[in-house]
Amino acid sequence: MSVSTTPAPAFGTVMASRMALATTDDGVFGAVEVVPTGPVELHPAAHALHYGSACFEGLKAHPGVDGKVRLFRPQRHAERLGVSAELLSLPVPPVELVTGALRELVAANLDDVPPAPGALYLRPVLLGVDPNIGAAAAPSTEALLYVLASPVGDYFRGDGGLTLAIETELPRTTPQFGQVKCGANYAMALGVTRRARAEHGADQVLFAPGGDVQETGAANFLLLDDRRVVTKALDPSFLHGVTRDSILTLARDLGYEVEERDLGIEEVLDWARTGEAALAGTAAVLAPVGAFVHGGRRHPVGDGSMGPNTARLREALLAIQRGEAADPHDWTQPV
C-alpha cells in the first residue's frame, strides 16, 4: 500500500475507512479488532451518555520523506488516556493495548494517510457503557474503547498569527478535571470562546483565571525569544501536552533556557512588545500568536506573523515527525 496523494479535507470532518475497537469483560479489556468505520452500538442508558464517563486522546501518524508513516509518541498519549480514565473512574486500558491498536489501525489505513503537511489524526475514545441510569454516584464497570482515524491537513491556516482573548474570570475547567481530556472541558470553554469570537474577533481564548495564565481551549501556551522559552509549570490545573513536552525538550537541545513557572498577564503583554508567543498542540503543532485582546484593547505580538524562534522550533519538530531529521529521543514509531 502507498501513501495517498490527494490533499486532506477540513480537519476532523472525514474518517478513514477502518477503526479499531476493544471492549471489557468485567472491567478487563479484550483483544483489539480493526473493523470498517461505522456506528457503534450503545445502550441508551450507557453511563457515558448520562454521567460523563467519557474521555479521549488525539495524536497523529505522519507521512515521512522516506515513504514510511510514523506515529508520534503513541506511548505518551496512551499513558495520558490512562490518566483521564483513572480520574473518571473508568477501566484503564493497558498502554500496550492502546499503542498496539494505534499501530494496527494506521497499518490498515495507509491508503488514507494524506501527503505532508497533512497527517492521519487518531482519536482514541473511551466510554463507560454500563446500562444504568441510577449510577450517578457509581463508576461504570464496563468500557468501550474505539479509535477513529481521520486524514487531516494543517489545523491553522498559517496566514498570520492567532488572536487570543485573555479571559481572567472564568477557568477553562474545574480544578479536578484539568488533566482529564473529556468533552465536558471543551463544552465549558465553548461559550466563552464563541463570545470572544463575536465580541473581539478572537480565534481562541487564553484562560488566565485570577491572572494565572494557563492554556487555551485546545492547546498549551508558550512565550519565546532568542534565548528563552517560558511556559506554565506542570500542575493539575491544565492538560499536559505532548507537544509542549516535545517543544521544551527540543528547545533545551537547541540551547534555549526553558523556564517552567507561573506566568502573569502583565508579563505576557510586556513580552508581546519584543518577543514571540505560540500555541503548542497536536493539531496546532506550534502556531504563532499574532495578538492578544485584553481590557478591551488589542495588543499585537511583534508584527503579528510567525517569529523566527517559533518557526525554528516548529520546523525542528516537524522534521522529526516526517523522518527528515534524526530522532534522538525515540519519539517516532514507524508503522
Ligand X SMILES: Cc1ncc(COP(=O)(O)O)c(C=O)c1O
Residues at the site binding ligand X, with contacts judged by CB under 6 A: 58, 215, 218-220, 239, 241-244, 280-282
Residues 323, 332: contact at Cβ < 8 Å?
yes
3-state secondary structure of 296: coil
Give the separation between CA 303 and CA 68, rounded to whole angstroms: 38
Q: How far is the CB of 220 from ligand X (least distance, A)?
A: 5
Q: Which residues contact 215 (CB under 8 A, 6 or more apart)?
A: 172, 206, 207, 221, 232, 238, 239, 241
Q: How far is the CB of 36 from ligand X (least distance, A)?
A: 27
Q: How far is the CB of 291 from ligand X (least distance, A)?
A: 20
- Which residue number, 63 or 241, has a Cβ lying nearer to ligand X? 241
CA gyration radius for the chain? 20
- Among 93, 159, 155, 160, which residue's Cα sits nearest to residue 124? 93
State the angle between helix axes of 95-108 and 74-87 in degrees (0 to 180), rounded to the nearest 10: 130
- Among 269, 251, 149, 259, which residue's Cα sits nearest to residue 211? 269
- Among 24, 22, 138, 23, which residue's Cα sits nearest to residue 88? 138
Tell me whether residue 232 is one of the annotated catalytic residues. Answer: no
Residues 105, 90: contact at Cβ < 8 Å?
no
Q: Which residues contact 104 (CB under 8 A, 6 or more apart)?
A: 20, 32, 34
**Bridge partners of 150?**
121
CA angle 220, 235, 177 (to 5 degrees): 80
- Which residue number, 32 or 239, has a Cβ lying nearer to ligand X? 239
- Among 154, 148, 145, which residue's Cα sits nearest to residue 16? 148
Q: Where are the beta strands (DSSP E) in the chain?
A: 18-25, 28-29, 33-36, 54-56, 59-63, 69-72, 119-128, 143-152, 162-167, 204-207, 215-216, 220-224, 228-231, 257-260, 276-281, 285-294, 297-300, 332-334
| Active site residue ranges | 181
